[in-house]
Amino acid sequence: MGPEPHIWVRHEVRPEERRAPLVPADAARLVGGGATVTVEESPARVFPDEEYAAAGCRIVPAGTWPDAPDDCFILGLKDPGRPAGPPRHRHIYFAHAFKGQYGSAELLGAFAAGGGTLLDLEHLVDEAGRRLVAFGYWAGYAGAALAVLHARGRLDAPLRPARKAELDAALREPGARPATLVTGALGRCGRGARDALEVAGIEPTRWDVAETRRLDRRALLEHELLVHAVGTSRPAEPFVTTADLERGDRRLATIADVTCDVRSACHLLPCYDRTTRWERPVLRLPAGGRPVDVIAIDNLPSLLPAEASTAFSAGLAPLLAGLTVPGHPAWTRCERAFRRALWKEAGVA
């Protein structure tokens, strides 16, 4: 056994981000087990600073993580913003930088220059390559919910975070039930999407690996609403292209892309090329006089911050306790993924 970890939970700089990777109840368990947990103040986080203090965490000002001791693990969810110098700590967050995404070479180069380590939560996996912790269920739930509300003409912008009960009440209101397809229906995202659609009274068509291995493009385009929840780590045949949107037999009118692999070789919906934001959640594609609306928000679980954070933290906290265990299999795999990406993008072993 190694020394107990020092985990530094940073404030999220993204304006609409209210989630937390570690909730107060789980922080208390880590502290009780001997870990040190430092939490930055955050006016946006859905859990108040006072709850972390009561859990035994040390509270420090927001944005002070660059001055944290070298042995700290800096824990967050999204990009921390760029400090004055290259990163030197061990960072844990969703960087989405190991598949050649836009800006990945620059980010990995900065880690190489600073000597830091990026433990990307996307690559915290088991021996079969399955992700151990993810917000996927809540991403699928929120993505499908937004698509239904938009199809019914009831999606108000800018979006704002809510509780699940509030969102479910909106979904239960009477309205259209568009013919809906969920791709990746058996995965975490797909399950979340299906549950939201059930609340809305919609029974979707369900496609998973067997149905998408040989894509029936005409059948896909016959649906009015598509919730795309297929994640891939390698390029594959696109599901919807710009040419598909020009087809006269297309019924497809709304796409909710939960995966948001835009600007990546793994982008399976190349009919659009940029994500959407809370201020303007819908991108309208002028396709042959019959537009297609795309919802592609890359932090969908933030719309349900309390429920999403609680579920995510429950899976992550036990793994955080093992951060300093020599040869811990999950963290070792995660660091190896970083080293491979570093070599591929920055040429550093």
Q: What is the mean pLDDT of each run of 10 residues along the chain (349 residues)?
A: 87 93 98 98 96 98 96 96 85 86 84 95 95 96 98 96 97 98 96 98 97 93 97 86 94 96 87 95 90 95 97 98 97 96 71
40 and 11 in contact (C-beta within 8 Å)?
Answer: yes
Q: Is 123 a catalytic residue?
A: no
**Any bridge partners for residue 39, and if so which?**
9, 59
167, burial (CB in 10 Å: exposed 0-12, middle 13-18, buried 19+): buried
- DSSP codes of every residue in 252-280: --EEEESS--TTSTT-S-TT--S---SSS
Residue 347: per-residue pLDDT: 60
- Catalytic residue (one of 78, 99, 328, 344): 78
Residue 253: per-residue pLDDT: 97
Residue 288: per-residue pLDDT: 76
What torsion do the CA atoms of 203, 205, 208, 212 make, to the nearest 10 degrees? -170
Residue 2: per-residue pLDDT: 59
- Read off the tokens for 37: 């947990």
Q: Which of 63, 94, 67 is nearest to 81 (CA)?
A: 63
What counts of helices (H) and strands (E) characterise the chain? 11, 12
Q: Is 78 a catalytic residue?
A: yes
- Catalytic residue (one of 6, 11, 96, 228): 96
Nearby residues of 156 by Cβ (< 8 Å), 6 or more positions away:
none
306 and 25 in contact (C-beta within 8 Å)?
Answer: no
Query: For residue 69, which amino acid is it?
Result: P
Residue 234: per-residue pLDDT: 82
